[in-house]
Every structure is written in structure tokens, then in C-alpha cells.
Structure 1
Amino acid sequence: MLNLHSATYRHRLRRATMTNPWATIPGPGVRGIDLEIKSGCILGLVGPNGAGKTTLMQILAGILDLEDGHIQLDGTPIRTEQQHLNLCASVGYMPESVSWVGPSTPNHILSRLCAMRGVQTSEGEEILKLVGLSNRVDDDLSTLSKGMRQRLSLATALLGEPRILILDEPLNGLDPVAQSAFRTLLRQLAQRGTAIVISSHSLTDLERIIDEVALMHRGRIVESGSLSTIERDLGIFARLDIAGMGSTPESFGDEIRAEPQHPHKGEDWAYRLHLEQGDWTAQMRASIQNELTITRMNPVSADLEEVLTAATGLSVEDSGFDVFTDVEVEEDE
């Protein structure tokens, strides 16, 4: 659907000289980005602060023009002004932060946007219901909580039934119930064929939503694909939690590293097994069970926290991420 090839964009920084006080130099941005946005797929952009996630999203939305490389929509490179307009019409973009202020209401804002985009006013009304603002459509913007304003931003992004949805930190300010409803909405949109790109500082919440992930570091994509594929590429070994009763096993094989774990009630021993090569096939699991009384045997998938750390060499704390879901949020009234 949407493809980037060697995409490069660098923000300009002021660097005044004696002869030119307005001189600029290339600053941070993104470099050599190759990325495919697929229909019906929810792609998570993950990376430390300053990795270039917002810049990349603005490129995908058609807000920033590339310095180098090109972008394609349905296989057609974006070169002419009309092609650029077609790209913008295909994308719904929700920025990280929108200051909804002034003497207006959600209904008034959506009505004006419908008129600007040539969309029926009834569509705006339906979208406000979809994002959970049906009871606040005529309330003044100043009375809306942070979570309500996030919903309004999402509503504007959904206007016109975009084929591609770009969401920059959409979970900010949403309470747990609203986050759950939001995840359900995104899954429904993806099932209808909408391509979705989403970033979030909450790795646990993001992991619940995405189908694939692109890991960014210092303006580049260092890994992309499904979590299981990236896990193998980064050398994160296949793991298996195993526990049982009776005598503790002395060994599980030469290519298996056994890490002791705390056994559950009714168990005599427990281990996390790390396989140095390949995956845990049914044959391998069956061979482990010989002469052992197994109570549980579960494969352990990689999580975003572990993958991010392996890809960037940074701890989650250094990256500026939150791995907990029980943080305080502004109450979504």
C-alpha cells in the first residue's frame, strides 16, 4: 500500500555566521528508511526518545517532503502535486499533542472539518459516537479532560475513512477502560483493511495492539517485522518454561541452557530452557519429557522491552519508555 525507499529527511538547525545570520545546517531526522505499510496491518514504531518516530510519521502523512529517496502509494511514486494530494487524502494523522482551545465544541470542529474536506456532516456525527464523545458533542472545549481531547484528535484523524491511519502516542491521557476500547476500535479498523501505524511509550499496551514492529534508533530502522522474526535476528534464543515433579533433571542437552525458576505449588522443580539454535519443535519437546513427570511446558515469547534493549543496547529506563500499565492517568470524565 505505502512504501518508503531510502527515505531521508533532516531538520534544519540555525547556525548563524558573520556573513549569513540565517544560515542552517542539517540536524537530526531519519536516514535511509525502507518501510512497507500493509493493508490491514497494525505496525508499531518503537524507539528511544529522539529516534525519529514523529519525523517518520510526518513523512508518511505527507507533511514533510523527503530530501532523498521516495515514497510510493499503491506502487506509484509520489512526484506531482496531485499525487501528493492523493497521499494526504489517503492518510488520517493524529499528532502526539493537539491544543484544543477556544470557544468551540467537538460538534462544531467536526462540522467545519467535514465542510473543508467535502464530507457529509452526518459522518462527523457518527465518528464522534465511535470515539465515545456522543455525550459531549456540544460541550465547550475547556470542559474536556485530556482523555476526551485525545478522543477528539482521533475523531479528526478518522474523518473521510482514511486507508492509512497514523497515530502518534494516541494512548496518552486515556484511562484503562478507554485504552481497552481504543484497542478494540483499532483491531476493527484493521480487519476492514485500514493500515495503521502507531507509536507509544507504553510498551506493554503497544504489545497488545500491534501485528508487526519497526525498531528505530538514531534516525534509522534497525529491525522490522514480527516480534518472533526480530527475536531470531537479534539472537534472542527460543525459550521454554518447564516444571515437574520428582527428581530434578541433571541436564536437558548440550545445546540447551537451563535457568532455574521458582516452582509453583505442587511442583518440585522448574526451569526456563534457552535453545541456542532453532525453535522448540514438537519432537524436541517430546524428547525432553522422556522419563520426566511434567506439570507444565510453555514456550516463552519475546516482549518489546527485551527486543528494544537487544536492538539499541539501551535499557528501557534510558530509552524513556514505561513498561507498566498501572500508572496514574488523568481521569477521563
Structure 2
Amino acid sequence: MTTPFRHTEPLPPASAAGTVAEVYAQIALDFGIAEPSTFVVLSSAPELLAPAWALLRESLIAGPGSRTGKELVALGVSLANRCPFCVDAHTVLLHATGDHALAERVARGGTPHDEEHARLLDWGQRTRVPGADLEPYPFPREHAPAYLGTALTFHFINRIASALLTENLLPAGAQRFRAVRSIAGRALSRTVRRTARPGQSLALLDDIDAGEAPAWARGTPVGVAYASLLRAAMSGAGLLDAADHDLVEAALQDWDGTHPPLGLAGIPDRRERPGARLALLAALAPYRITDEDVAAWRRPEHSDHCLVHLVAYGAFIAVDRIESAFSAQITQEAL
């Protein structure tokens, strides 16, 4: 049977228990999509699944600001990261907000007619470049935790989706058809337009220490969720030896947001450093991860849990590079 999953075989959601089942229940209630593959693919690592969901919920769904505006930011991020799965998902979700003409215009590659919408889409695309000048924000400053959190959420989720899912949001690529996108969006409209209470996902987290919350989200549920995901994702570094870890971290320090060239210059050979290669591809070009790359790294002791953690580590070091640039700009403004 064809599935949307690449490189892993998640357990059927019907068999979920404990934290995984609780996360699925909240996703169905607040996201409107039961068992979306972007989260099912993380289910072998509940310690990643819960904070990834929490960050999305507290920023995109329950955070302040327009849902249409945040969907445009998420769409811009997904375009910049070349993640067709997430581009299609956010097009459907724009239909769910009721902005049908806007959804179809951006689906065709057009620029929104509304100036504010165009600025939000462009801002989301520019967040891929660490240190890009993102000021002035195209949203009220008091909404920054939700908008910055949304951007960073999808810098993470795009990479997970591109690495571990196929490109098809719906079976047989049905999302390519306008009528299907519209119908799918309308089915979600009641949930998308409902007000969600902030903070309700935090009960799903094992560790709610907000000590590592970034300054732009301190004192908010977004900050707690971000800190939790940071700790969970960075634990994947333990799957690399010291030399590979140093190589990956050094490469991300020099990254300027560009996509690697076709020849993957600067990416280690899979025969020599397969772990470092997987982590760097997850960070910079997850859509370039192949079966051969995974097979070169995988050993009998490497379960799906391990692969998900290694990919999440690579994804998050890119997120951390982008977030560090956000924080540096905010600190500079405060001086």
C-alpha cells in the first residue's frame, strides 16, 4: 500500500497510546485534521512530537494576529524552503480561512493584491536567510511571538516533511486541482476560524522549563514550546561522533540561506561521513535526501526513532541559525 512516508514506517495512529494519543486528540480538535502525516512521522519520538505540535499550536493557531496573515508567513517560508507538501497544505488552509481568491492567486505563483498580504508572504520567504533585514515587521510588534514562532515552526516542519514524506499532500496528488483544494479547505473552515485558548498544549510537554525561551517569546506559551523543542531536537546530536558534530555545526555557522548546488559541494560523501551528510542535508536541502543516504548511515541499532532524531537535529540547527539572527537583531535594537 502506498503511504506518504519515506525512510520510516510509523505505527498506525489507531495503536497510539500515552502522549502520542493525547497529541493526536488535540491536533484533531485544534487543527481539524486527524493524524496529519507531518506529525505522524514524528510519532516514534514522542519527545519531539509533543513540542513540535505545541510550537505550531501556540504560534499559528492560538497566538495573536490574523490566521490568514500567519498562513501567508508559513506559505512564504515553505516556498523559500522548496517544500511542495507544505506549500499545498497552506494553500488549502488559506481556503479554510475564507480567503479563496487569495489562496488560488498564490497557488498560481501570483503576488497577493492586498499590500499587507504581499508583505507578509515576502517576509516569510526572506526569513530563510539568517540575518536578513526583516524590519519593519509587516505585523504589530506585540504579535511578534506568534509570527516569529510560526516562521520558525515551519522552518522545522518543512525540513521534516521534505526529508521524510513524499510531495503529495493528498493521495495521487489530488491537491493539484483547484476544486479539491477548495473543498478540503472548506471542510476545515469551522476549526480554523474558531478561537483557541493559548497554552493548552503545554500540558503535553515533559519539560516546561522556559529557561531557554528566546527573548522575543519570553513569558509566552510560544517561548515555552520553542525551548522544549530546542532541547528535544538538539539531543539528536548524540547520534554523531565529535568530529561529525563539529563539522555540521561549523557548516551552519557559515550558512547564508542559499540552497546547495546540484553537485552538493560542501556536503560530506555518504561513504565517508554518512551521519554528517544526513544532518547537513536535513538542514540545508532535505528534499535531496535519498534512500542511499539513509542506507549508508543506518545500522541494525538505528531504529526509526534514531533516524527521526537525526533528521530533527539537522532541521533544528538550521532553525537555530535563523532564530539566532532574529534574536541578535532584537538585542541590537534594544541597545
TM-score, shorter chain, exceeding 0.5: no
Q: Relative to total residues, which structure has the larger helix share, 1 or 2?
A: 2
Q: Considering only CA atoms, is the larger Rg found in Structure 1 or Structure 2? A: 1
Q: Relative to total residues, which structure has the larger strand share, 1 or 2?
A: 1
TM-score (norm: length of structure 2): 0.27
Larger RCO, structures 1/2 (Cα 8 Å, 6+ apart)? 2
